[in-house]
Amino acid sequence: MKLFSFYTAILLMCVPFYAAHAEQTKIDGIVAIIDSKAILDSDINTRFQVIKERIPGGQMTDNIRRQILNQMIDEALQANYAKKIGMRPSSSEVDKAILGVAQNLKMDLQGLRQVLSQQGINYSRYRDQIEQEILINSIKKEIIKRRIVISEQEIDDYLSSTTSISKEKDQVRLRHIIIRATDPVKAELKIKEIAQKITTESDFIDQAIASSEGQFAIQGGDLGWRPLSQLPPLFVRALEQESGQLIGPLRSNAGFHLLWVMEKRSPNTTLQKQTKTRHILVRPNEIRNDTQTKALADKLYADLKEGADFATLAKEYSEDQGSTLQGGDLGWVTPGTMIPTFENVMNETAIGSVSQPFKTQFGWHILEVDGRRDEDVSDQVKRANARQALTAQKQDIVLSNWLEELRADAFIDLKE
């Protein structure tokens, strides 16, 4: 599911994020210092307001607070490292991102400045947040590029595997708990204690929030839907060998793991169809509520039915940063790539037709289907898909180990 990038989500969150910050009291406490960067108590509270709808239970608890703090520490470490190696977004890149926010809110840059000012939001700090999110996104890509090298032999081995094709299609939705192996003996004892406390998915969520050291801990360890081909081999083997919902403990170089199997799905078809599609995404925000957002989507749909050009409207209105500049073009979409609601509408829409507005967790969409074809099974495409799958298998552990290195080398002063 890649309807829009993490970077896009952050941009769309920025206005409510800082609006919430403006409501905090003037007296503020320092929670932690990371190198020379301070994390404030109000920073944690405002972050909670932004993400609380994605947190199981939606309540601020001590464990939630700790996980938010850990998340903000990781962000600071990543941004600091990016700056140390000379990585910095250009002024024009940041300007373009901020202008994109303004345009998505149907205003010019001056109008955005005025809105921020009226809410007591410091524009320089707002700009710094945009720059940091660009940095984090960029440095992750760079670390993956530097540390993951896929050999041609690995690709050959992957393609020769009798299960590689089915694993590209089979998907599983997992929850994940990891305890780092800083002290292997203590880590193993801790993961076993955690496992003994879990009998239901609710138990797993509670333990993930309370104890997991993974990046998705605050969401109850939810990894979302992932093809088996993009999971670490350790996880795949365990899923094949164990039949229960609770899997583990498992040990890797990164630490000790527990998995909870939420759902599985496997296409019945042997030939994979691809759909050429484009879409327009509009999202509710602080200025425009859900009803107003639907009204905008309805207006765009009416314009399209009257002959308006889809690509032109997408460039002007769509809030999917990943496809807006391409006129909403998502390219050739394979089954399982998009969330079920989007995929169902796409499959039901005839070639050359435009769907009525429909809602997903990301906002209101309109899509157009430009064509359908059977999957390209040429050797070049197969090898490219294999390289992508092998990279995905390794990237979570690579990024996790990199963060551990950053933590070990940094000055981290926790005030709580």
pLDDT tens for each residue of 275-314: 999 999 999 888 889 899 999 999 999 999 999 999 999 9
Decide if pLDDT at 199 tops 70: yes
The CATH superfamily assigned to 6-147 is Porin chaperone SurA, peptide-binding domain (1.10.4030.10)
In three-state secondary structure terms, 7 is helix
What average pLDDT score do residues 358-367 get?
91
283 φ/ψ sector (left φ>0, alpha ψ -120 to 50, else beta)? beta
Q: What percent of the chain has pLDDT over 70?
A: 87
C-alpha 258 chain-centroid distance: 21
The per-residue pLDDT for 18 is: 43
Token pair for residue 167? 């694993």
CA nearest to 318, candidates 131, 130, 100, 133: 100
Locate the domains of the chain by residue range: 6-147, 152-268+380-414, 273-374
Cα gap 347→330, rounded to integer Å: 14
Q: What is the pTM of this model?
A: 0.53
Quick: pLDDT tens for 273-283.
789 999 999 99
What average pLDDT score do residues 369-379 get?
75
Domain 152-268+380-414 carries which CATH code? 3.10.50.40
Token pair for residue 220? 């109850």
The per-residue pLDDT for 1 is: 36
- Please indicate whether the domains covering 152-268+380-414 and 273-374 agree at the CATH topology level: yes
Rg, the chain, Cα only: 23
Cα gap 41→319, rounded to integer Å: 31
Q: Average pLDDT over the chain, rounded to whole?
A: 83
Cα gap 100→324, rounded to integer Å: 10
The per-residue pLDDT for 23 is: 45
CATH entry 3.40.50.2000 includes domain 273-374: no
